[in-house]
Amino acid sequence: MDDKLNSQMLHHLDHDGKRIILVGTAHVSKASVDLVKAVIDDVKPDTVCVELCESRAQSIRQKDRWQEMDIIRVIKEKKALLLLSNLMLASFQKRIADRLEVAPGQEMIQAMASAEDVGAEVFLADRDIRTTLSRTWGSMGPWGKLKLIFQLMMSLGEVDEISEADVEKMKQQDMLVLILEEVGKSLPQVRTSLIDERDRYLAEKIRSAPGQTIVAVVGAGHVPGIKRYWEQPIDIGSLETLPSKNPLIGFFKWFIPICICTLIIYGFFRGGAGAGTDMVFWWVLANGILAGLGALIALGHPLTILSSILAAPLTSLNPMIAAGWVSGLVEAFSRKPKVRDFESLPTDILSVKGFWRNKVTRILLVVVFTNLGSTVGTFVAIPMMMKYL
């Protein structure tokens, strides 16, 4: 590795008498793997910090962890959309890594292995990925979440079109932000939670890590931010707090159903039984058909499609439950995922076809598309109902 490249990737910092060597790696570069090994072997630090949290470290160490997923629990805890987003991100990263013949997280794997070789402590310095995604998710409105999902789905078909210039760009950016770059232009809060907050978190964890000599291995995209926040006081507790629910969102969850129910009742009084019945008809038709269409697009089981059609008109008036949760549970019981579905998940998420073929991801797609269809149905139904007033 030449001196010019070393100067770009190695950064020397200090804090309270500690000597810290910050290694800015390229997540898709074999040279980064070699550099990490060379630095740790040469420095023989007390501690090696890695840009991983406990759950991500386990995913690297335990290749079969998908088999432990409880898909029913995911649906009941309202995390289907979050998990689907995570799988799409994993798909993009793994396909990039496969194309460039570098295992995902290989430089972090090398850092942990080299730390063990020299007797150094491994210190996980990144914020829990679930906290990061929850804070990102919590900062976005419904349409922002839909844009995010759309961007992720578009990324599933873009890997084969990546140019050499794109590869070089990847070496300098955080993988999550690279994928969500278009979303980030209109949703700056995405960048805040994915990058800026993590820069601060990493800076505080690295400078407070045990030992006097520390090697910290992080993505090159985080290096400028870590250096920017290095001397600033950081409240790490506030960065680990899950976002509180926006009271306005809770208000509108109840306000819209109440308005719709009031609208229907008013229709009966103003236009008579005929007008009121017609309004109910359009409400049931728009919600049911579009929710069923969503389940159909996800290639749901016939019983799943039927359940979404029947559930959507009722669940749209009940903020405590969503049509997608009903259809997702029906799909899970109608086509219960088998062990082989969990075993093939890492491979199936590499293609659009695989997402629809695998029973696990198909359940998630059923939840997402049914909810989307029901939401669209609500906005289609309202103007149709207004005609009868």
Strands 10-15 and 18-25 come out as antiparallel
Give the pair of three-digit tokens for residue 336.
Answer: 């219960």
Contact between 210 and 121 under an 8 Å Cβ cutoff? The reply is yes
CA–CA separation, 131 and 66 (whole Å): 19
CA dihedral 104, 69, 116, 227 (to 10 degrees): 60
Q: Are the C-beta atoms of residues 18 and 212 closer than 8 Å to each other? A: yes
- Residue range of the domain that includes 349: 247-386
CB 56 within 8 A of CB 175: no
Q: Do 8 and 150 lie in a common domain?
A: yes
Task: Let me know whether 350 and 380 are in one domain.
Answer: yes
Are 162 and 271 members of one domain?
A: no
**CA 188 → CA 140, 183, 191, 338, distances in Å?**
10, 8, 5, 40
H helices of 45-121, in order, are: 54-61, 71-76, 80-99, 106-118
Q: Are residues 21 and 74 in the same domain?
A: yes
Distance CA 366, CA 347 (A): 20
Q: Do both 188 and 110 map to the same domain?
A: yes
In a shared domain, residues 45 and 140: yes
Long-range own/partner contacts, residues 377-382 (CB < 8 A, 24 or more apart): 377/286, 377/287, 377/288, 377/289, 377/290, 377/291, 377/312, 377/316, 378/256, 378/260, 378/286, 378/287, 378/316, 380/286, 380/290, 381/282, 381/283, 381/285, 381/286, 381/287, 382/260, 382/263
Q: Return d(Cα 151, Cα 189) in angstroms, integer.
A: 16
Residues 291, 310: contact at Cβ < 8 Å? no
Distance separating alpha carbons of residues 327 and 67, to the nearest angstrom: 23
| Cβ partners under 8 Å of residue 252, min gap 6 | none
What pLDDT shows up at residue 115? 95
Closest C-alpha among 139, 132, 269 to residue 202: 132
Amino acid (1-letter code) at residue 92: F
pLDDT at residue 306, rounded to an integer = 96
Same domain? 181 vs 305: no
Q: Is the whole model's pTM more than 0.75, yes or no?
A: no
- Looking at the fold, whether 114 and 261 belong to one and the same domain comes out as no
Tokens 């190695």 locate to: 10
Closest of 218, 214, 184 to residue 201, by C-alpha? 218
Considering the domain architecture, whether residues 313 and 207 belong to the same structural domain is answered as: no
272 plus 331 within the same structural domain: yes
**Residues 101 and 218 both lie in one domain:** yes
Q: List Cβ neighbours of 187 (8 Å cut-off, separation of 6 or more).
A: 140, 144, 147, 148
What's the pLDDT score for residue 242?
A: 77
Q: How many Å apart are CA 284 and CA 198, to the nearest integer?
A: 45
Low-confidence residues of the chain, pLDDT below 70?
1-8, 27-29, 59-70, 78, 81-82, 85-86, 89-90, 92-104, 141-191, 243-246, 248-250
**pLDDT attached to residue 8:** 63
What integer pLDDT is reported at residue 345 of this predicted model?
76
Structural domains of the chain, count? 2
Single out the residue in 240, 267, 284 at which a domain terminates: 240
Domain boundary among 240, 269, 286: 240
pLDDT in tens, 319-337: 888 899 999 999 999 998 8
> What is the reported pLDDT for 308?
95
Q: What number of CA atoms fall less than 13 Å from residue 140's CA on the CB side?
A: 27
pLDDT of residue 2: 47
Domain boundary among 205, 240, 275: 240
The pLDDT of residue 355 is 85
**296 in the same domain as 197:** no
